[in-house]
Amino acid sequence: MNVLEASDLGKRYGDTWALRDFTVTLPTGHLAALVGPNGAGKTTLMNMSAGLAVPTTGTATVLAGRAPGSPAALDGVAFVAQDAPVYRNLSAGDMLHLTRNLNRRFDRRFAQARLDELGISLKKKAGQLSGGQQAQLALTLALARRPELLILDEPLAALDPLARQDFLATVLTAMADDGVSVLLSSHALADLERVADYLVVLSGGRLQVAGEVDDLLACHHVLTGPVAEADACAARYRVVQDRRAGAQAHLLVRTGEPGDVPGRPGWEAHPVSLEELVMAYLRAPQRTDSLQLAEPTEATR
């Protein structure tokens, strides 16, 4: 089952496209990291996936063909927006009661046990909780809906390192215990490198690259060699980033298939990290075609 399928998806506000020509397929069972600079279209994509915004062009479905925002989708999708959205003047217990009444499916016993485990009193107002506790409260309310897809929009931005670690540990536990699939937007690349097994990179409202992290890393390499031969070397591959200094060139390239290590006399091939890969695509000229490894075409080989 695919938890998200988008085809030529676009959203325009006035004359400005927040997202355009977005086509991607996210299979179930992954923690998909959604990465891009501010204004790249990440929140717009998440809002449309949750049924909070209507596409201008194209289509999107969730959970094997359900329309975002439909009753069937609402029962299976939980969305935590930016800044841990909780009502500051309501107690944690009030938040549980409100969430239960607004949703057809809510496991109050799980939510209360989870808050007890975290040491969050049901009587304490949400505004009196620390940033990490507010984030955990919002996450607990989302998980108590027993979703199949959990959408998290920048949940780590205001958290300290320990709070980020605890938050991600809760997400990973939900994936392991309940089979939840996750779409997580974040700028914290070091944290994402530890937990994400799927990657979607957006820039300028367009998809730059998408696929399973292991496959993406396996078919990208940094080639190091003489500047005099850089153009000839670059002609053989899809070059993501081209850096030349003095007599040496460094080309981050994509090969045809995972495991296909590029070779050329006088050149060395080095593996890339997730952070290097993401930064290269964000610095590269914006693509007009979408590259997704899950369903390659002749245009992306």
- Whether the pTM exceeds 0.85: the reply is yes
Indicate the DSSP class of residue 91. B
**Mean local confidence (pLDDT), 218-246:** 90
pLDDT > 50? residue 180: yes
- CA distance linking residue 196 with residue 189, whole number of Å: 10
pLDDT > 50? residue 288: no
Task: Write down the pLDDT at residue 170.
Answer: 93
**Which region holds residue 26: left if phi is over 0, alpha if psi is between -120 and 50, else beta?**
beta
Please report the DSSP string for 45-73 in residue order: HHHHHTTSS--SEEEEEETTTBPTTSHHH
pLDDT > 50? residue 300: no
Strands (E), 16-128: 16-27, 31-35, 57-62, 77-80
**Mean local confidence (pLDDT), 61-88:** 90
pLDDT > 80? residue 264: no
pLDDT > 80? residue 299: no
Residue-wise pLDDT for 195-208, tens only, equals 999 999 999 999 99
pLDDT > 70? residue 291: no
Q: Which of 27-31, 50-54, 158-162, 262-266 has the lowest mean pLDDT?
A: 262-266
Q: Answer whether 91's CB lies under 8 Å from 122's CB.
A: yes
The mean pLDDT of the chain is 89
pLDDT bracket for residue 272 (50, 70, 90):
very high
Q: Name the residue ranges covered by the structural domains of the chain.
A: 2-212, 214-294
- Going 292 to 294 to 295 to 297, the CA torsion angle's sign is positive
Which among 168, 235, 220, 155 is positioned nearest to 196, based on CA atoms? 168
pLDDT > 70? residue 5: yes
Q: Give percent above pLDDT 90 in the chain.
A: 74
pLDDT > 70? residue 260: no
Residue-wise pLDDT for 76-86, tens only, equals 999 998 876 78
The encoded tokens of residue 108 equal 């109050």
- CA distance linking residue 296 with residue 300, whole number of Å: 6
**What CATH class has 2-212?**
alpha beta
pLDDT > 90? residue 177: yes
Q: Which of 33-42, 65-74, 165-174, 285-294 has the lowest mean pLDDT?
A: 285-294
Residue-wise pLDDT for 107-138, tens only, equals 999 999 999 999 999 999 999 999 889 999 99
Residue 301 burial (CB count, 10 A): 10
pLDDT bracket for residue 51 (50, 70, 90):
very high
The encoded tokens of residue 145 equal 């809906």
pLDDT > 90? residue 6: yes
Look at 290 and 147; give whichever has higher pLDDT: 147
Look at 215 and 236; give whichever has higher pLDDT: 215
- CA distance linking residue 134 with residue 127, whole number of Å: 8
